[in-house]
Chains A and B, each alone.
Chain A
Amino acid sequence: MADAEQTNDPTKSKVGESILTDLVLSSIRVRKWIDFAFMVVGLLALLFSLITLLALILDLVRTGGPRVSWDFFTSFPSRKAMKAGILSAWVGSLCVMAVTSLCAIPLGIAAGLYLEEYSKKNWITTFIELNIVNLAGVPSITFGLMALGIFVYGLGMGQSILTAGLTLGLLVLPIVIVTTREAIRSVPNSIREASFALGSSKWQMVRHHILPYSSGGILTGVIISLSRAIGETAPLITIGALTFIAFLPPSPVNETFPFVNFQWLTEPFTVLPIQMFNWVSRPEKEFHVNAAATGLILLMMTLVMNGIAIYIRYRFRRKLKW
């Protein structure tokens, strides 16, 4: 049976066509080889990116690692490189991040909720969506210019922690909105209908079902946006963050009535990336070591935050199977 088929095969019957088959086969071989070569090129490109990241981390560890010590965290910047530390910088970063979170998280989640759950399909919604896309594409430094013109000079808020926090909050707002929308969209409609069927109002439905079920995705977005904000330098330089600060903002908690004070909001500040920028732009080698140490701390913070975000996303994707 098989023999009969083979003898009937026209390509085998003539010599010329067997050469043709050879040509086809060799062309297949060449194309398979191209496929394989392209895969290797892809792997190499991937490897190159990852090696760059690794080189960056290793260089920071090698140069700055030995400089990271308890004293480095508890000293103010100084003219002597070996005595200088990042106390005012990390406290400043912490304060600015607090304001940023308070601004970006509620605003971003509320905006995402509105666009996914409440908005009607009309030109206003389209316009808002278009604006969010554009906002995400605006260079970060223009946020700094806006803040300098509006917050610092227009509203007289000065070059303060409050100004910086609000600037970064508005800067990362699109990230929070987009990730919130994605998380809300993944909640199936049957949940909404079930809730309405039981007589809940829209807000009750959102409050008790949509928000809890999408909290993992929202949290991921919040962490990623904060990790972006903590490394942001340019807009804060633009609004006039100082590079040399040898004092701390007053504590937000008092021992006497009314126990809290908001004076820290109006204080001048510096943050970790600005401190690093200041050190890296000096000609002396010793300050570059400080810059590397600050960079290492900054990098570790962002990598840990991103790691947590990846983990939460992974966990939630596995746990929730609608």
Chain B
Amino acid sequence: MKVAALTAANHPIRKWRKFKESAIEAALFLAAASSVFVIFGIIFILVSESLPFFGHVSLVEFLTETEWSPLFENPRYGILPLLSGTLVSTMIAISVAIPMGTIIASYLSEYANEKAREILKPVLELLAAVPTVVYGYFALLFVTPLLKTFLPELSGFNILSAGLVMGVMIVPYISSLSEDAMRAVPNHLREGSYAMGASKFQTIFRVVIPASFSGMTSAYILGISRALGETMVVTVAAGLQPRMAWDPTQPAATITAYIVQVSLGDLPHGSIGYQSIYVAGLTLLVITLSFNVIGLFLRKRFQESEN
């Protein structure tokens, strides 16, 4: 009797249970949606705090002026010096991280045995776990003096050692993701390649890497966005001087370093200096997000052609 009553659809216990289930689902949904709020919060605040800035400074001046000195008496608002610092440091980091990451991924995926991989991969990932301010210390007080023995004209603060250290820091991001992608390549492709008489080296570069292209691309893109957004290494080791920085042995400032430098001082809310860090942040966000979108697009294109 009781069981029959319980199974009736409109029994209060059943109703309560149904209500509870949907309440839980709604709460979980809100938690999942919070990431959307965060992204929109970031975009909203960066845009709304930047808009007044462009009331003072024209977009043309912002993009073409070659001096950045918002806090000086004769302020100049050209993003190019900061952009050049960011690009040069990213380029140095990437030219270390992409070759090394790819080679290490190939080694771990194609040469190393299960046991070696189980040990080496987590140890390598520790490189990405070291706090970035510690890397800044390392770049300034270890790598720069070391490089000075080869390059005596190197400045005490320089973008070269910051970039190199960033590169090593990014290696595990690239190698781990690339290795996952390479290992996901089905074995029959490798066997087919060997059967055609290809060597291991040829198989890696002509079969495995092209076949894992979409995964490798996302690994590279992640590495590039890390390098673009990296802050503490360049703030500590590259010297905070916004100027057109094509010479990596000289000090320079990146977009991120500028934001930190300004935040360390006490800027009144709403001043143009305060707005300038939002403009810098917005520029950075636009660059990194467009990289992410390109990566997503490439991956989609490639996955479609795979199918």
Q: Which residues of A does B touch, CB under 8 Å?
A: 31-32, 34-35, 38-39, 41-43, 45-46, 48-50, 52-53, 55-56, 59-60, 63, 106-108, 110-111, 113-115, 118-119, 127-128, 130-135, 137-146, 148-150, 153-154, 170, 173-174, 177, 201-203, 224, 227-228, 230-234, 237-240, 243, 273, 276-277, 280-281, 288, 291-292, 295, 298-299, 302-303, 305-306, 310, 314
Contact = CB atoms under 8 A, between A and B. Distances in A.
Given A59-B142, A135-B38, 5 more contacts: A45-B107, A111-B32, A146-B41, A150-B41, A237-B264
Contact of A52 (B39, B45, B127, B141): B127
A145 B171 contact: no
A60 B131 CA distance: 13
A276 to B, nearest CB: 5
B297 to A, nearest CB: 12
B236 A302 contact: no
Contacts, number: 258
Given A55-B142, A137-B288, A39 B133 contact: no
B259 interface: yes
B103 interface: yes
B137 interface: yes
Contacts of A277: 133, 136, 232, 235-236
Contact of B42 (A35, A146, A280): A146
Contacts of B140: 280
A136 to B, nearest CB: 8
A42 to B, nearest CB: 3
B123 interface: yes
Contact of A145 (B20, B33, B135, B259): B259
Interface stretch (B21-29, B64-72, B241-249): B21-29
B196 interface: no
B124 interface: yes
Contact of B45 (A137, A150, A224, A288): A150
B206 interface: no
A231 B132 CA distance: 7
B80 interface: no
B307 interface: no
A128, A146, A224 interface centre (most CB from chain B within 10 Å) = A146
Question: Which applies to chain B's interface (DSSP): helix, strand, loop or mixed?
Answer: helix
Contact of B225 (A137, A141, A224): A137
Contact of B124 (A32, A46, A128, A130): A46
B38 A110 contact: no
Interface of B: 17, 20-21, 24-25, 27-29, 31-36, 38-39, 41-42, 45-46, 48-49, 100, 103-104, 106-108, 111, 118, 120, 122-127, 129-138, 140-142, 168, 171-172, 199-202, 204, 221-222, 225, 228-232, 235-236, 256, 259-260, 263-264, 269, 277-278, 281, 284-285, 288-289, 291-292, 296
Contacts of B263: 144, 148, 237-240
Contacts of A145: 42, 45-46, 259, 277-278, 281
A42 B104 contact: yes
Nearest to B138: A56
B142 A114 contact: no
Main secondary structure of the interface of A (DSSP, over half): helix
A148 B122 CA distance: 35
B82 to A, nearest CB: 13
Nearest to A128: B32
Nearest to B205: A38
Nearest to B230: A139
28 contacts: A49-B124, A52-B168, A56-B135, A60-B137, A107-B31, A107-B34, A111-B35, A119-B32, A127-B36, A128-B33, A131-B39, A137-B225, A138-B229, A138-B289, A140-B231, A141-B256, A142-B281, A144-B263, A145-B281, A149-B48, A150-B41, A201-B17, A202-B21, A224-B129, A234-B256, A277-B236, A303-B129, A305-B129
Contacts of B269: 153
Residue among B140, B260, B291 facing the most chain A CB atoms (10 A cut-off): B260
Contacts of A302: 129-131
A236 to B, nearest CB: 9
Given A118-B25, A137-B225, A292-B137, A42 B259 contact: no
B260 A238 contact: yes
A53 B31 contact: no
A39 B199 CA distance: 13
Nearest to A207: B24
A231 B134 contact: yes
B130 A49 contact: no
Given A31-B201, A107-B34, A291-B137, A41 B222 contact: no
